[in-house]
Structure 1
Amino acid sequence: MPAALRHGIFSLNCFAAAMLALYVSLGLGLDRPYWAMITVYITSQPLAGALRSKALYRLLGTLLGAAASLTLVPALINVPALLSLALAAWLGLCLFVALLDRTPRSYLFMLAGYSAMLIAFPQVEQPQGLFDTAILRVQEIAIGVVSAALVHTIVFPQSVMVVLADRVRGVLADANCWIADSLSGRQHPRIAAERRKFAADATEIHLMATHLPFDTANLRPRRRLLVALQDQLVRLLPLTTAVEDRLQALGGPDALPEPAALLLADAAAWAGDADRPNEEAVSLAARAARLVEALEADAAARPEGASWSDLLLMSLFTRLGEMIGTHARARALAAHVDDPGRPADETLASLPESADRQLHRDPGMALLSAMSAAAGVLVCCAFWIATAWPEGAIAAMFAGVLGSLFAGLDDPTPHQNKFFLMTLLSIPLAAFYLFAVMPHIDGFAMLALVLAPVLLPFGMLLALPAQMMTALPMFIGFLGALAIGPAYAGQFESFLNINFAQAIGVLVALVMTRLVRVVGAAGAARRLVRATDRALIAIAQRRDRTDLAGWTSRMIDTTGLLAPRLAAAGGAPDLATVDPLRDLRLGVTLLQLRMLIPIAGATLAHLLDGIARHLAGRLAPGRPQQISDPALLAMLDEAIGHVAGLASRARRDGLVALTGLRRNLFPDAPAYRAMPKGAG
């Protein structure tokens, strides 16, 4: 279906749902039917599953907000300052939780925060009507979300399942290309950009999959399968970059011995051809394992033990075998996502019980955002109480709403500025309709007819993510100013006062955000980098209980978050050497070494403590571009020699991990030189 036609259908669905909500609300005699109309447009999403989940979370958030208002207002109605503080604190708490959640479920908590204000503040001077207002709000929201879900589900629904399967195919196709290029030794500039995009896409697939339980598709993949697919996708990136790093250290494919070069070429051909059978992957992985065994046997037979090139080759083919297996499993799982009805095979039967993906969380920024939104509400409330301003409730409400809507951005003020401008632009249009058109409307059919020229274009814009922030504030301002009810109640003085108060609330939110919350791209990048460094230190000190899958998942998400911020930071000197993929590999090797401590003894524990001290130097102000630590390098080489003397499977695992660790921490150091057996 062409995009223009799809957007047109979406707009028509939104308009039909809004008119249905308006008709039902008027038929039931509700006082504020425009709440239901606004809910339809705020809730509507192009994907049916996303719409249904958002509708549910909006309704639950409204119920929670209503409960909070019914709890706080009666208890504190005689102490306005304390009531203002309690409602602002509730808003801040809900926003804090929402920002830490980072899934579509976060909408529930954000709604709970500012719904309490929307219900409570207008009733503080008439608290006897609080319960009726709360019930009315819940009823209108329920009518709006049910109308939106009903219309968008019945009329040409767009399935999340279809879009998700298409996105998975696209991500795997991109991965096939840059994996094949990397194994062939071709270093295209686009590879780095594609890997950053891969990291962002992996998180997007995870978030999109959370909507599947609400989707319209008859057949949907099981949650266990989706989690397993995401696990394989996020493991591809560190494995591929590790293979590429070892290949670069060895001088490229042309510098490899013939059996190794042939394996690499065959692996590149398999990765680049999506039609190659996965049985070929099993053969390639077995060849890689045989090469590793031959390297181990050869090194064990020599008096001097394994050379640095031996270790690099061993690491290369161990990681290559793991990468091929991961890639093959991802292909097999993606086929089941694309066709959930296909018969189960051994790939599905062997799926482990995996936990949900871990995402990066920043409690510090969440707290700042919560404080900024709460502060905006308190400033408006203080002025309202001090001056007895009749429209003070409106200013406080909009300060809280706007302080919440863009709280997840590094710098919300450009969007807040745009919201303010679009709201101002909606006032003349609303005034024209309210005072020139609405007095002449007679009947519901005529009302729907005169609203269509405004609401249909707004609906088209809402279907475009880039234009949504242009349409939504104009739409909210337009319908909010019209305040369509059971009877016409247009008063010019009230219209001006309400819109003036709304503008004041938006301005207060903007000012408080700029004073408290703005960090910018460079500041956000530094926070992400410091969080990564602290996580690496915790792993090295054995304080972090995260597992390999959890760390990889969190760092893939961090990579996707960090890449655009580094690009926007303008080449800040302290960020010039930041490499999130290197830190991803570093964490993987540290976790692998931590698991080997019971076998390898105190040597690895001592090394991890030294690495923790080394990494702590990166937390210094200004972030040193390069930390010289000869003592740690010597400790690392000693650990390689110690592990090389072990007589168990831990020997191979330890040497592969230590080789990767040396490459990640000291990529420019001279080659490792083994001590002859019996020396020292």
Structure 2
Amino acid sequence: MNAPVAPTDAPRTPWTTQVREALRGEGAAWMFVFKVLLSIYLAGMIAMRMGFSSPSTAMITVIVVMNRQSGMVLAKAFYRALGTIVGSIAAVCITALFPQQPVLFLLALSIWVGLCAGGALMFRNFRSYGFVLSGYTVAIIALPAVNEPTQVFILATARLTEVLLGLLVSAVVFDVVFPARLRNSLRTAANSLMTSFLDFVRDGTRGALPREKMEQAHLRFVRESMALEDLRSSVVFEDPEARVRSRRMRLLNQRFMAASTRFQSLHHLINRLLRSDPNDAVAGALMQLYRPLGEALAARRVGDHQDITTRLDDVLAVQPTRASALRASLPAPRLDDFDTGASLLLRFTEELRDMTHTAAAMQQPGIGGQLARASEQVRFRYATDRVSVAITIGRSFLVSLLLGLAWMQSGWASGAGAMANVIAFTAILAAGPNPNITAAQITKGFSIGLLMAFVCVTLVMPRIDSYGMLVLGTAPFLMLAVYLSTRPALFGMSLGMCLGTLVPLSLGLAPSFDVASFLNNGVAFLMGAVLAMVAFQVIPSVIGTQYQRRRLLTELRHQVTLAARAPLDGLAPRFESVSRDLFLQVVTHTQPGSAESRTLLAWALAVHETGRTLIELRHDSIDAAVPRAIEAHIDAAVSAIARLYDHLSPADHQAALSHLDAALADTVVEGVVPPSLQPVRQHLHLLRSALRDADSVLAGAAGGHPDTTTEAPHAAV
């Protein structure tokens, strides 16, 4: 009998293939590391050739502006240059005002640092970075000159030229050497937003959208629209065409926000009708009315926005006729519901068409594509929590003043460096969502970087006799630190390691190998990082706390008051952008899927629907020149709704309903609604429907239990 044949081993994967698989996707990371190191050493070499007093400043500048996207580097470099210029001027002015009055000098310095930290919190993107730089640049320049005020101008010019050199080198390297263009990310984000929203609308035309699905979609679209604005604000620095088309990109985002809010209002109305009766005739008629819209979106050529615009024009052409036919089959008491829904659908289709038309124009080179309603105002504003700004100003002011006084009393020779480090880290971390965690990461990274710098200064630097050897000797240390920055979770540690390595080395024309001096300066900078971390423990940030979330939610509800009372000029885009930013700030710090997150989503939807309707009601009331009696009821209802969202009072809830009922009754003249008053009546009816929704978050919070059996006054057929 033959012996059984042993099974052969499975073919082994060659080790080279395993390595390639392991390193797949690492090419972009290592290209980033190469560009950062090239910028660092190129900036250092140029600074040394030009005889700058501190070439390491130019090298450190590269570290603080590094980013994988070239547009981000250019944007950050621009605002860093602006902040450095302003900070240098401020340093000279403060020193000149108080040359021999150290307490007043520290007081003025602390006030400036606090105001700049607050300014950093009020602005977004890299504009806030300009405030950060203008704050701690004053400390870096003015503190070393506190005992020699005549040297402040020399220090300011030296700092400015070294920083600008580092920025120039970084901008050139990242824009020329295998650039990672931000415009590609912007184009991808815009196309993704358009496609996902059109798909969502297409799916929504097939039936009612559950409230939870609408909430999650709203959250996704808010995040994407805000991210799109952040990308747009940075891409203008790298692409001349993007600068020319910047207004159109903001207009596209603005029209997207308007369309998404209208779509929410439409489906909220349909959902309210279906909750009262799953077979509601009006809800069925409205779903029939916008079914052709879904068919047009389903048949579209994805990515071809001109094709979508043409299809939407065709839908708009037949929509009024279809609405009239469906309206004729409904009983008179239900016509208000249908007319309101049909009006919402018509406006939504028009806004969707305008959005796709803008996207089609964006696909044309330059600004050659024709743009519908090109004169429309474009406004995008962010929301600011004044309490957070005040706490940030107070923390930075107190930290700067108290540490400055302690330094002056101690007479510590390296205390200026420690204090400058505290001010820098306090300002940088002030606007972050988790400054305590980030400060701990930076401190840990700074400690590791200091150890690497010690190894370098004791074992490597004494053997270096040329700039090429300097590169070979220090590159391994920096390479590891820069590589860690490609991992978002380790960016804080990476920044600390880079600074902890470069700052204590103080590379220059005449490098020092004095270990005692190195340790003194290194410990001073490390103490600065530790003290900054302690400052956030003693005076914690309110960003992301329960207290701030409550304040932001109150401010979000207050946007309804803004919609009710603010001047109408440019109010709609201002309301959309501010309310979305507030909502995103609140929901960012809540656990996804939690009860708190669901409540916030519900409030955001209610605020957007009510606020947008109030703005349009005010506009249409002016256009229709409504009679004084109706105007009085409208004004009273609008004021009551604003008070309701501010105070959540049942009395205001009932008052708003009463005035809405009275205004609706006044719009009926001899049994019919005049054509000029129909848009006004539709807005009034939508507001009434929203206030009478027993399942809404507003009804629960205000304790309102509206009588859903009461019918609104209706006109005869």
Aligned with residue 316 of structure 1, among 336, 341, 347: 341
The 1:528–1:664 alpha-carbon spacing in structure 2 relative to 1, beyond 3 Å, is: farther
CA distance in 2, matches of 1:524, 1:171: 29
Query: Letter of the aligned partner of 2:402 in structure 1?
Result: V
Aligned with residue 35 of structure 1, among 41, 50, 57: 57
2:206 maps to 1:184: yes
The 1:644–1:549 alpha-carbon spacing in structure 2 relative to 1, beyond 3 Å, is: farther
Measured against aligned partners, the alpha-carbon deviations of 1:589-640 in whole angstroms (never above 9, x if no partner) come to: 11122234442334444444455445445545xx78x888333322222222
> 1:38-49 maps to which residues of 2 (within 5 A)?
38-49=60-71
- Matched residue, 2:605: 581
> 1:282-301 maps to which residues of 2 (within 5 A)?
282-292=313-323
CA distance in 1, matches of 2:676, 2:590: 38
Percent identity for Structure 1 against Structure 2: 22
- Matched residue, 1:208: 231
- Matched residue, 2:385: 362
* 1:559/1:581 contact within 8 Å kept: no
Query: Letter of the aligned partner of 2:573 in structure 1?
Result: A
- Matched residue, 1:478: 501
* 1:225 positional shift: 1.5
* 2:450/2:522 contact within 8 Å kept: yes
Aligned with residue 654 of structure 1, among 680, 687, 690: 680
* 1:203/1:557 contact within 8 Å kept: yes
CA distance in 1, matches of 2:322, 2:571: 29
CA distance in 1, matches of 2:643, 2:534: 36
* 1:220/1:340 contact within 8 Å kept: no
> 1:55-454 maps to which residues of 2 (within 5 A)?
55-185=77-207, 187=209, 191-216=214-239, 222-251=245-274, 255-256=280-281, 260-272=286-298, 274-275=300-301, 277-292=308-323, 307=333, 309-340=334-365, 344-345=369-370, 348=371, 350-454=373-477
* 1:291/1:317 contact within 8 Å kept: no
- Matched residue, 2:691: 665
Query: Letter of the aligned partner of 1:561 in structure 2?
Result: Q
- Matched residue, 1:525: 549
CA distance in 2, matches of 1:412, 1:544: 39
Query: Letter of the aligned partner of 1:376 in structure 2?
Result: V
* 1:361 positional shift: 2.2
CA distance in 1, matches of 2:415, 2:593: 39
Measured against aligned partners, the alpha-carbon deviations of 1:400-420 in whole angstroms (never above 9, x if no partner) come to: 111111222344212112222
CA distance in 2, matches of 1:10, 1:410: 26
CA distance in 1, matches of 2:324, 2:521: 77
CA distance in 1, matches of 2:598, 2:285: 43
* 1:80 positional shift: 1.0
The 1:643–1:291 alpha-carbon spacing in structure 2 relative to 1, beyond 3 Å, is: farther
Query: Letter of the aligned partner of 1:592 in structure 2?
Result: E
* 1:530 positional shift: 1.5
* 1:84 positional shift: 0.8
CA distance in 1, matches of 2:510, 2:142: 24
Query: 526-535 or 272-281, which moves further after superposition?
Result: 272-281
* 2:558/2:645 contact within 8 Å kept: no
2:616 maps to 1:592: yes
Measured against aligned partners, the alpha-carbon deviations of 1:250-276 in whole angstroms (never above 9, x if no partner) come to: 328974567644333222233345516
Query: Letter of the aligned partner of 1:262 in structure 2?
Result: Q
CA distance in 1, matches of 2:43, 2:651: 63
The 1:542–1:478 alpha-carbon spacing in structure 2 relative to 1, beyond 3 Å, is: closer
* 1:375/1:512 contact within 8 Å kept: no
- Matched residue, 2:41: 19
CA distance in 2, matches of 1:619, 1:218: 44
The 1:461–1:605 alpha-carbon spacing in structure 2 relative to 1, beyond 3 Å, is: farther
The 1:642–1:4 alpha-carbon spacing in structure 2 relative to 1, beyond 3 Å, is: farther
* 1:538/1:544 contact within 8 Å kept: no
Which runs of 5 or more structure 1 residues have no equivalent in the other structure?
A: none
* 1:213 positional shift: 2.9
- Matched residue, 2:666: 642
CA distance in 1, matches of 2:682, 2:81: 52
CA distance in 2, matches of 1:675, 1:325: 29
CA distance in 2, matches of 1:536, 1:191: 21
Query: 286-295 or 363-372, which moves further after superposition?
Result: 286-295
What is the DSSP-based 3-state SS (H/G/I as helix, E as strand, rest coil) of the residue aligned with 1:652? Answer: helix
Query: Letter of the aligned partner of 2:290 in structure 1?
Result: L
The 1:379–1:274 alpha-carbon spacing in structure 2 relative to 1, beyond 3 Å, is: farther
What is the DSSP-based 3-state SS (H/G/I as helix, E as strand, rest coil) of the residue aligned with 1:249? Answer: helix
CA distance in 2, matches of 1:556, 1:155: 38
Query: Letter of the aligned partner of 2:477 in structure 1?
Result: V
CA distance in 1, matches of 2:412, 2:187: 54
* 1:203 positional shift: 1.4
* 1:373 positional shift: 1.5
Query: 49-58 or 271-280, which moves further after superposition?
Result: 271-280
* 1:522/1:572 contact within 8 Å kept: no
What is the DSSP-based 3-state SS (H/G/I as helix, E as strand, rest coil) of the residue aligned with 1:29? Answer: coil
2:582 maps to 1:558: yes
Query: 44-53 or 80-89, which moves further after superposition?
Result: 44-53
CA distance in 2, matches of 1:641, 1:111: 60
Measured against aligned partners, the alpha-carbon deviations of 1:47-76 in whole angstroms (never above 9, x if no partner) come to: 222222221221121111111111111221
* 1:224/1:354 contact within 8 Å kept: no
* 1:471 positional shift: 1.0
Query: Letter of the aligned partner of 2:173 in structure 1?
Result: V
* 1:165/1:337 contact within 8 Å kept: no
TM-score of the superposed pair, with normalisation by structure 2: 0.86
Which runs of 5 or more structure 2 residues have no equivalent in the other structure?
A: 1-22, 302-306, 695-705
Measured against aligned partners, the alpha-carbon deviations of 1:148-187 in whole angstroms (never above 9, x if no partner) come to: 1111111111222221111101111221232223222264
CA distance in 2, matches of 1:564, 1:612: 31
Query: Letter of the aligned partner of 1:45 in structure 2?
Result: N
What is the DSSP-based 3-state SS (H/G/I as helix, E as strand, rest coil) of the residue aligned with 2:591? Answer: helix
What is the DSSP-based 3-state SS (H/G/I as helix, E as strand, rest coil) of the residue aligned with 2:578? Answer: helix
CA distance in 1, matches of 2:496, 2:673: 68
Query: Letter of the aligned partner of 2:518 in structure 1?
Result: F
What is the DSSP-based 3-state SS (H/G/I as helix, E as strand, rest coil) of the residue aligned with 2:274? Answer: coil
Measured against aligned partners, the alpha-carbon deviations of 1:201-253 in whole angstroms (never above 9, x if no partner) come to: 11121121122332146676523322221111111221111111112123289
TM-score of the superposed pair, with normalisation by structure 1: 0.90
- Matched residue, 1:496: 519
The alignment yields a C-alpha RMSD, in angstroms, of: 3.0
CA distance in 2, matches of 1:451, 1:330: 53
CA distance in 1, matches of 2:272, 2:191: 32
* 1:343 positional shift: 5.4
CA distance in 2, matches of 1:665, 1:515: 45
The 1:244–1:349 alpha-carbon spacing in structure 2 relative to 1, beyond 3 Å, is: closer
